[in-house]
Amino acid sequence: MTLADVGSRADVHQVVPESSHGFLDRPRTAGFDDGIEHAVRWLERW
């Protein structure tokens, strides 16, 4: 499954669990779109 499969507004915590990777440490209220971009960059490095 990729982020494209679940959509730009999906719950990324379900795709890449925070408890497993710990990179989604910013609150969603700080800008969830920024969180998506951060996740994509992290997955590209992974």
Report pLDDT for 35: 72
The per-residue pLDDT for range 10-21, each reduced to its tens digit, is 455 455 555 544
Instruction: Flag whether pLDDT at 41 surpasses 80.
Output: yes
Instruction: Flag whether pLDDT at 43 surpasses 80.
Output: yes
Task: Give the CA diameter of the chain.
Answer: 26
17 is written with which tokens? 């669990």
